[in-house]
Structures are given as structure tokens and as C-alpha cells.
A and B are shown apart, each in its own frame.
Chain A
Amino acid sequence: MSLSARLTRILSSVILYGLLIGVSLFMMLPFVWMLSTSLKPADEVFGYPPIIISPNFSLNAYKYVIEEYGVLRSLLNTFIVATAATALQLFFCSLGGYGFAKYKFPGQGVLFSLLLATMIVPFVIVMVPLYLIMRDFHWIDTYWPLVIPWAANAFGIFFLRQYISGISDELLDAARIDGASEFGIYRRIIFPIIIPGLTSLGLIIFMTTWNSFLWPLVILKTPENFTIPLTISSLTGQVGRTVWNEYMATAVLSILPLLIIFLAFQRRFVEGITAGAIRG
């Protein structure tokens, strides 16, 4: 390789790595500052010059938000809601996906179009009537509204239908000959095969429910019932207190569980995101 070609190559590598490192630093900065601020005493938050790890480093902010704001309680609430939503959606969506992927029945085309049509209608269109329904059901300030309306939803059914379509029909027919019932086929054959797909979808559902804000804001009224995003946003509600180390401690606690799950299941997670989008 000639000298100039080698130089161009080195130069372009420097530019490419420079871009990647620059963007990565931008991505990391809020995380670093969130963690750093949460470990500082309140009067050092806007200290000059800024420091990342204060010599007066302490976990007091965490202790305070856990004891005074019930952050652990909110985390538990969020965990319960997200787990329930995930379990129900995975069950009903896989069943629906199975119904559409592996059977032919009268009205199938119309029913499926109807299902897809629900995906283009934005949530604001149904928000007010949905709130009124929940009020009539006496479900305001409960977790039912966060879980039930989407227990079987278009995205999940569409996603899993794609997944189940790939399973060979001979396998299902063989089970039928062996006397398996239609639900038995779902439980004993379909379900085990689609576990990777269920994991991908489940991670997305869990994350979406964990982070959702608008609908819980409409529904949940008592602070003891709040999910974690509501708890963070309600912190400034306290008069005259702007205690950034406490806010950041709460923020860290709110993102930590999902961050751990994401890092552990990264491949499945990304698979779920791309499968849902690209094929969809």
C-alpha cells in the first residue's frame, strides 16, 4: 500500500472513531451526571467547578427518597403492573397470533384488516371516552385500566402471527393425528417453539408499561398508587423544594431495573424492536 493510501486510511479511521466516540459521549453524559448528582450533597449540585465524584459522596439522597417519598413502593407498583401487562399480553396475543397464522375461517380477512386499522388510530382519539369508561367501571386509581384494555393488542398479535407462520404445518397435523386438541397444540407445540419471540415481545411490553406516563397520569390519583414515572414527576410538586440530588437518586432507581434487563437480554431486545418494525 502506498504511503498516501495508508494515510487516507488512518485519517478516515480517526474520523469514524471520532464520530462514534463523540456520539457515545453525548449518550453517556446524562447517565453520568444523573448518577454523579444523586451522590452529592444538595448544596454541591451546582458547585463550581463541577466535579463528578464529590469528596462528601453519600447515599443520603437515596435514603431520603426511599424513606420520605416511598420510591421503593412505586418501584414495586410499577413492577406489578408491568409484569401483569406482560403476562396477559403474551398469552392473549400468542393465542390470537396462532388463530390468524394457522387457521382459515370465514371473515378472517375482514377481521385482520380491522385489527391492523387499530394501529393507525392515535391514543388521544380514545383517551377521553376510555377515561369515562374507567370511571363508570369504578376503576379510577386502580391498575386495571393500565393492563386490561391492551391485554390482546394488534401489535402483539401481528408480531406473533409472523413468528408462528414459520412453524411447519406437518408438525401441527402430526399432533392432531396423535389426538391433541387445538388448545393442546398451542400449549404443547406452538408455545415452546415461540419462546424466543415471546421473550423479545415481552421485553418490549415490559419496558413500554414500565415507562408509560400519559395514561397512568390520567388514571392514578393517590401517590401511594403511583408508578415510578409519576412519582418522579410529582417530586417537584412539593412546595419550594428543588433538590436535584433527590430527583436524580429517584431517576437512577427508576432506570436501573430496565437497564439491567436490557444489558442482560440485549440481543433479544434489539431483535424485538427490529422484527416489529421492519416486517411490520
Chain B
Amino acid sequence: MTTDSYMVRSLPTPTTRRHGLWHDMVKARWPYLFVSPFYILFTVFFLYPVVFSVYLSFTEWTGLGPIKFVGLSNYAFLLKDKVFWQSMLNGVILFFMYVPILTLLALVLAVVLNSRRIRGFQIFRTLIFMPYVTNMVAAGFTFRLLLQQKNGLVNIMLGALGISPLPWLESIWGARVSLCLLVIWFWLGYNMVLMLAGLQTIPYELTEAALIDGANPAQAFLYITIPLMRPVILFCVVLSTMGTFSLFTELLALFQSTLGRGPMNATVTPIVHIFDQAFRYFRFGPASALAYVYFLFIFILTLLQVFYVSRQEA
């Protein structure tokens, strides 16, 4: 028992080869047993669905009766589907509206909190992180209340500054800004905590040395912190990108009366659209085709981001 060949630290064993693969597999019955729950669930609830939805994307089916094979027509439909392309465009617009602000603000806050000059580190971190544990439906409803055009708290506060009430949730750009405020409120602490963890891997002496050599804090931030933090920043941006295109709960909570689409489809995202196709209209074929095109798009976008950053590093 003590020298089983599958033990990590057992001696290099030429004997295992002699016994052959089957013998190795029998000897490794325990680890197979330990990892098997994942692969059982994987087969039933992942592999089969992934393959089945490829098939569904070539069919027309409402979930009842016979499945009708329609070839590529769902994909042809998708090319002309204005709402889908609007949802992709919305993803790009929203990305540029909040991801730079969110990422930069998170980084700046992390650097400030990490600088050892600030008292109350714990309190600020807790306060900024707190939104992350609230559920998005509750948060979205609260923002809806705050942003009501007539006597909403935000408009009342703006009114005190002499600004007339803004149609936050009723206009195209107001809706997008409202959504960005909610997303930044929710995700800022999460991003900041990741950045803080990243900063702790950068030796403080590096910044200190630069400051002693006469760099000002802004230069130290620009030329030391940002380059060293590149992997963490990339990670945050990639997560935010995927998050933007898959906004769903936020939208259903903020724009309940339009089922998340917002005024004039200003905030519809691919996920909202796919959900509607699948579970409001029960058009499983188009929904599956949309899901695959969406996945392909996100996948390429992520690769491009990673590629862009790693090329800059070289």
C-alpha cells in the first residue's frame, strides 16, 4: 500500500510502465473516484447541453411536438435581427461608458488605501466592498427609487444645485448612465479588492525608491504601479467585458416595465435578448443560434484583449 505508483511523491518507478495502462488505472481507482462526481455532472449537465444546443440552433422548436430541422435559417435570421445587433452595440457602448472609470477608480482607491498614509483602511475597504454582497434585484430597485424623475432623491439633490429634474430612467442616455452608476456601485469594491491584492505583491520599496529619487507620486503611479499591475488590470477588464455583455438582473430590476430592454432598446444586452427568445417566446432554435454567436464574439474579444496586453509587455 505504501508505495502505490500513483502517489505524487513515490519514487520514479520504471515498474509502472511494465504493468501497463490498465494496471495504472486500477491502481488509481481512488483518485478516479474522487474526481468522478465532477465528470458525471459534467457529462449530463454540461457536455450534453453544449452539444444539444448546437443541434437546436439548426432547428425550429418550441419545446413541444416534433423538432423541425431548418438548416442555417436561424443564423440567417440572426443576421437581420436588429435587436440582437443593438444588444451587441449596447455592450460596446456600455463598456466604454463605465469600464475605464471603474477600473481606474478601483486602481486609484487601491493605491490610496495601500499607501500607509491613510487611517481607517478597514472602514473604507468595508464600506466600498459592501455593495458586492447585496443582491442585484434589491440594489436595482433601490437605484430605481433614487433615480425617479419626479421627486427622486437624486433629482432633488441636483435641484438644490439648480439643475432641473433629469429623466434618468426614461431617456436613452439617462438609462445607460443609470445602469453604469448601478454597475460601478456594485463592482467597484470587488475590483478594488483584487487590485489591493495585486498591489501587495509589488514591493513597497520600489515605489519608495522612486519617490526618494525625486519622482512625484503621479509619476510613480504611472511608471511603476501601472506596468507592474498590468496582469491584474487585464484580469479586471476581461471580467468587466464579459460582465457588460451578460448584464441581466441589473436590467430586469432597473427597467422592469420594458423587461430589461430600457427605453428604445437602449440597454438591451445579448443575455436579455436570448432569455426573451428562449423563455418568453419559446423560440429555442434562434435562442441557441444567438447564444453561440454571442459566445464566439465574447471569446474572440477576450483573446484580443489578452493578446493586446501581452504584446505590449513584450
Contact = CB atoms under 8 A, between A and B. Distances in A.
A25 B278 CA distance: 40
A100 B156 contact: no
A270 B295 contact: no
Contacts of B197: 274, 277-278
Given A124-B291, A173-B7, A20 B146 contact: no
A138 interface: no
A221 to B, nearest CB: 12
Interface stretch (A59-67, A111-119, A192-200): A111-119
A115 B38 contact: yes
B75 interface: no
Given A152-B37, A157-B38, A213 B129 contact: no
B264 interface: no
A87 interface: no
B249 A214 contact: yes
A23 B105 contact: yes
Nearest to A276: B194
A232 B248 CA distance: 15
Contacts of B128: 23-24, 27
B42 A27 contact: no
Q: How extensive is the interface on chain A, given as a class?
A: 35 or more
B153 interface: yes
Q: Which of A23, A30, A170 has the most CB of B within 10 A?
A: A30
A166 interface: no
B141 interface: yes
Given A27-B131, A104-B6, A152-B38, A20 B118 contact: yes
B37 A213 contact: no
Interface in A26-40: 26-31, 33-34, 37
A201 to B, nearest CB: 15
Interface in A118-140: 118, 120-122, 124-133, 135
B180 interface: no
A92 B125 CA distance: 33
A176 B6 CA distance: 13
Nearest to B125: A270
A82 to B, nearest CB: 11
Contacts, number: 283
A47 B45 CA distance: 51
A251 B142 contact: yes
Interface in B255-298: 256, 270-271, 274-275, 278-279, 284, 287-288, 291-292, 294-295, 298
A263 interface: yes
Contacts of A80: none
A255 B133 contact: yes
Nearest to A266: B126
A212 to B, nearest CB: 9
B127 interface: yes
Chain A contact residues: over half helix, strand or loop, or mixed?
Answer: helix
Nearest to B190: A273
A248 B142 contact: yes
Contacts of B125: 270
A202 B303 CA distance: 31
Contacts of B274: 124, 127
Contacts of A170: 9
B54 to A, nearest CB: 9
B137 A122 contact: no
B168 to A, nearest CB: 14
A77 interface: no
A125 B35 contact: no
A114 B253 CA distance: 35
Contact of B28 (A30, A106, A230, A258): A106
Contact of B35 (A96, A151, A229): A96
B37 A96 contact: yes
Contacts of B153: 29, 33, 50
Nearest to A252: B138
Nearest to B34: A99
B135 A210 contact: yes
Contact of A149 (B24, B45, B108, B118): B45
B130 interface: yes
Contacts of B2: 173, 176-177
A76 interface: no
Contacts of A131: 278-279
A232 B133 contact: no
Contacts of B190: 273
A262 B232 CA distance: 24
A228 B249 CA distance: 13
Nearest to A165: B8
A121 B288 contact: no
Given A30-B185, A96-B34, A133 B45 contact: yes
Given A23-B105, A126-B46, A273-B193, A228 B129 contact: no
B156 A50 contact: yes
A83 B109 CA distance: 34
Given A19-B108, A27-B127, 13 more contacts: A24-B124, A27-B128, A50-B151, A106-B28, A125-B291, A125-B292, A128-B278, A128-B287, A173-B2, A182-B30, A213-B136, A229-B138, A273-B193
12 contacts: A20-B113, A28-B127, A33-B153, A98-B34, A100-B35, A108-B31, A124-B274, A125-B292, A233-B256, A258-B133, A258-B134, A278-B232
- 8 closest Cβ pairs, A-B complex: A99-B34, A105-B28, A129-B49, A251-B138, A103-B31, A126-B49, A274-B197, A149-B45
